[in-house]
Amino acid sequence: ESTTVTIIGAGPAGLVLANLLAAAGIACTVVERSSRVHVEQRARAGFLAANTVRVLTGAGLADGLLKHGRRHDTCAFRTASGEFELAYGGLGRGEVHTVYPQQDLVRDLVAAFLDRGGDLRFETAAVAVDGLGTDRPAVTTRGPDGALRRLSGRFVAGCDGRHGIARTAVPAGAVRRYRRDHGVSWLALLAAAPQSMAAVAYGVHPDGFAGHMARTPDVTRYYLQCPRGDDPAAWTDDRIWTALGARLRADRHGPLHRGAILERRVVDMGSDVLDPIQYGRLFLVGDAASLISPSAAKGANLAVMEAELLAAALTALLDGGDERPLARYSADCLPRIWRAQEFSHWMINLLHGPAGDGEEAVFLRALQQARLESLQTSRRHQDHFAENYVGI
Ligand code: FAD
């Protein structure tokens, strides 16, 4: 079988790329190892940056998010000394977030691609990639019937996330991997409850960080910092609401709307960046290119930014014979990836102070306090924050 671009993975990266290529009349085949039901129900991100909304709107892929997404332009910090709000929609470049659950976006993107007659194969895993150094790279897939098929094309887009096969197809030594374990873990929760405050709230507390992020009128995402290796099952609904109430200081700022906990899982805060994010005819997009901790909600937004650049570069080559944008793909993406990594790393240090009375822990907590104070009082710092918080 043959196509022009083989796309491995139907997450935000692969689906945006597939839709943009299809719109440009470039043949592509998407292979996704999970079922359609699974990818359309996988709740993860929710905060779409202004650039993401621009890309999706420009491509006619934003009907759902423009109709059902909610504008968010304020975040609040709750600390021992009280609460302060940053109305970031009026700071920096004046950009806001659109809150639209990732699974809803994935559902819209799947429907749009299939409506165009796109070739999207669910329950079809890429099991091998070869010929990356040639002009006919091929992906071997295993479909729902268990049969192996070989799909050859001119390019392969690795959009298969951090644990996908695309990364491992790059020969050792051809790509450098920068990585950091931030040493912090979050219990990521979805609660069947409306949001409890207007804004996104970040609770900085001696027991650890707690976060509140609106999703839909009936579902709210919460985060609780927890020890590495904690068993999510040990967090009963009661224990979760007690910890959230304490760390978000419900006694001072008002009670939280409680509801059943629909999902609880531990996410270890880690980040990595591959350099370059291309090898031969393979191009990495999204989490496959760079994993970013969810501390600043950047992952899905980076994926869309990279998918747009790669689609434009492939179109320039295949339609206009211009090879330069594709040759520059990695160099164009990496500075933006590092900017997002830098901001996410800064957010981690803003939100988490080390525990304990050791000299270093006490010093680092004082720095954290100074960072929060600067953000609360300096208009220039707030502008810088806003620009990076919503920008990509
Ligand atoms: P994925 O969404 O992981 O998609 C990769 C796809 O490839 C998957 O469907 C997988 O099944 C498939 N696949 C893997 N291997 C193979 C194979 N061998 N063959 C075929 N298919 C394969 N980001 C934000 O921007 N904002 C947020 O608010 C935010 N919140 C988050 C909260 C949590 C709890 C988590 C965990 C992440 C969050 N993120 C957020 C990050 C965001 O969800 C990811 O960055 C985003 O999903 C990356 O998209 P992707 O398409 O690169 O990868």
Looking up residue 229, the CATH number of its domain turns out to be 3.30.9.10
Angle of helix 299-320 versus helix 50-58 axis, rounded to 10: 40
Average pLDDT, integer, range 278-302: 96
Residues 167 and 203 in one domain: no
Do residues 382 and 91 lie in contact, with contact meaning Cβ atoms separated by under 8 Å?
yes
Q: Identify the band that residue 45 occupies on the pLDDT scale cut at 50, 70 and 90.
A: confident
pLDDT tens-place string over residues 165-187: 999 999 989 999 999 999 999 99
pLDDT of residue 199: 75
**If you measure from the C-alpha of residue 367 to the centroid of ligand 1, how many angstroms do you get, rounded to a whole number?**
33
Whole-number Å distance between alpha carbons of 65 and 79: 33
Q: Is the distance from CB of 188 to CB of 267 less than 8 angstroms?
A: yes
Q: Check if 389 is active-site.
A: yes
Give the model confidence (pLDDT) of 17-35 as tens digits.
Answer: 999 999 999 999 999 999 9
Whether the per-residue pLDDT at 275 is higher than 90: the answer is yes
Q: 252 CA distance to ligand 1 centroid (A)?
A: 36
Do 235 and 381 fall into the same domain? yes
* Strand-pair partners of 264: 189
310 and 190 within one domain:
no
129 Cβ inside 6 Å of ligand 1: no
Helices 329-351, 379-390: axis angle to 10 degrees equals: 130
End-to-end CA distance of the chain: give it in Å, rounded. Answer: 37
User: What average pLDDT does range 231-238 have in this prediction?
Assistant: 97
Q: Based on the fold, state whether residues 113 and 172 are members of the same structural domain.
A: yes
What single DSSP character describes residue 258? P
Residue 90 lies in a domain: no
Same domain, residue pair 188 and 205:
yes
The pLDDT value recorded for residue 356 is 87
Instruction: Name the catalytic one among 88, 222, 279, 389.
Output: 389
Atom 12 of ligand 1, residue of closest alpha carbon: 9
Atom of ligand 1 nearest to the CA of 289: 52
| Cα–Cα nearest to 96, from 386, 392, 336, 306 | 386
- Burial annotation 168-207 (CB, 10 A radius, 16+ → b, else e): ebbeeeebeeeeeebebbbbbbbbebebbbebbbbbbbee
Ligand 1 pocket check: which of 160, 163, 226, 302 to mutate, most ligand atoms within 8 Å of Cβ?
160
* Structural domain harbouring 247: 182-269+355-390
Closest CA to 12 of 68, 66, 53: 53
Q: What is the pLDDT of residue 355?
A: 86
Give the residue whose CA is nearest to atom 35 of ligand 1: 44
Q: Is residue 298 in contact with ligand 1, taking CB distance under 6 Å?
A: yes
* Residue (of 51, 75, 87) closest to 300 by Cα position: 51
| Global confidence as pTM | 0.95
Q: Is the peptide bond before 206 cis (omega within 30 degrees of 0)?
A: no
The CB of 56 under 6 Å from ligand 1? The reply is: no
- Mark whether 141 and 41 lie in a shared domain: yes
CA 39 / ligand 1 centre spacing (Å): 10
User: Does the annotation count 294 as an active-site position?
Assistant: yes
